[in-house]
């Protein structure tokens, strides 16, 4: 049943939609495109997308469908696991032309989803919504469809978290942006260790408050802490320190090799430039 679907969208998809909206033609008020990803067990995971040029008139929609299929076929050569799962549009509402566009995607995939992203920032936030089209009508009578909202949320890979954290650092005071550079690998390890230490302090403080009966216990939190403690490996402090030091040495070796390769490439580039003159 289409109403039981839920949509999980990766941050890179939102960036691509906003970028397509910023690059739109001056006479275009709305941008549409194709959603790519996977669908399994009632969960549609959107990992990629691309824009489809189109024009909307009062009584019809003109879309470059051949361009959309060409881009999709090129993407399949790079990532064969990404299939068409629906389409997206900028704005905060479903328009009269949405049913026509949705009919095309219904021929390209089973139970396509429609995602809208409010790039106009109505209500001072970028609203994200997802819909499925449900058929309406009576047997042997006039048929129609209705866009019904479904659950939508964000999901991400670990590298995307790093990118989002870096983007968050560009937000300065007073709504101004500032330039930042990615931190070195060891600096990221140090930041992660400091953050982990702060979280552990919060957990210890909570446990001490509950044990001293100064705070009410929470069964859900207790179960999560028990699962966390059970997941820890049975290692002595010295064995854990040795394993951690070994991992740090491996990281330092990779960083050193990367710097050597970078230096060799720069040297080769300069030597090639000198010999060609």
* 169-190 residue pLDDT tens: 887 776 677 787 877 777 777 8
Is pTM beyond 0.85? Reply is: no
Query: In the structure, what pLDDT confidence band is assigned to residue 157 with cuts at 50, 70 and 90?
Result: confident
Q: Please give the Cα distance from 48 to 87 (Å, whole number).
A: 11
Q: Give mean pLDDT, residues 63-74.
A: 91
Label the pairing between strands 54-56 and 128-137.
unpaired
Collapsed DSSP state (helix, strand, coil) of residue 246: helix
Q: Please give the Cα distance from 105 to 111 (Å, whole number).
A: 9
pLDDT at 249: 86
Secondary structure (DSSP) of 166-187: HHHHTB-GGG-B----PPPHHH
Cβ 118 vs Cβ 91: under 8 Å: yes
Query: In the structure, what pLDDT confidence band is assigned to residue 34 with cuts at 50, 70 and 90?
Result: very high
Q: What secondary structure letter does DSSP report for 234?
A: -
In the chain, where the domains are located: 6-158, 182-229
* 24-33 residue pLDDT tens: 887 888 899 9
* CATH placement of domain 6-158: 3.40.140.10
Q: Please give the Cα distance from 268 to 274 (Å, whole number).
A: 10
pLDDT at 277: 66
Q: Which percentage of the chain shows pLDDT scores above 70?
A: 95
| Contacts for 9 with CB less than 8 Å, ≥ 6 apart | 46, 115, 128, 152, 153, 154, 155
């Amino acid at each position: 049943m289409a109403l039981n679907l839920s949509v999980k969208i990766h941050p890179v998809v939102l960036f691509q939609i906003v970028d397509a909206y910023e690059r739109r033609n001056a006479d275009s008020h709305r941008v549409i495109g194709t959603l790519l990803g996977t669908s399994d067990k009632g969960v549609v995971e959107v990992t990629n997308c691309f824009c489809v040029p189109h024009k909307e008139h009062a009584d019809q929609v003109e879309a470059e469908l051949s361009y959309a299929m060409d881009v999709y076929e090129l993407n399949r050569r790079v990532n064969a696991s990404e299939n068409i799962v629906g389409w997206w549009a900028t704005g905060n509402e479903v328009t009269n032309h949405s049913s026509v566009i949705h009919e095309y995607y219904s021929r390209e995939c089973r139970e396509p989803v429609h995602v809208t992203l409010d790039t106009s920032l109505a209500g001072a936030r970028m609203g994200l919504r997802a819909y499925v089209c449900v058929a309406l009508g009576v047997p042997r009578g006039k048929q129609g469809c209705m866009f019904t909202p479904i659950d939508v949320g964000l999901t991400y890979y670990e590298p995307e978290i790093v990118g989002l954290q870096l983007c968050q650092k560009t937000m300065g005071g007073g709504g101004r942006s500032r330039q930042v550079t990615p931190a070195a690998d060891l600096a990221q390890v140090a930041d992660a260790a400091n953050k982990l230490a702060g979280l552990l302090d919060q957990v210890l403080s909570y446990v001490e408050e509950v044990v001293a009966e100064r705070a009410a216990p929470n069964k859900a939190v207790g179960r999560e802490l028990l699962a966390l403690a059970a997941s820890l490996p049975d290692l002595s402090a010295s064995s854990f320190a040795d394993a951690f030091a070994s991992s740090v040495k491996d990281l330092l070796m990779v960083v050193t090799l990367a710097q050597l390769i970078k230096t060799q490439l720069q040297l080769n580039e300069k030597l090639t430039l000198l010999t060609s003159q």
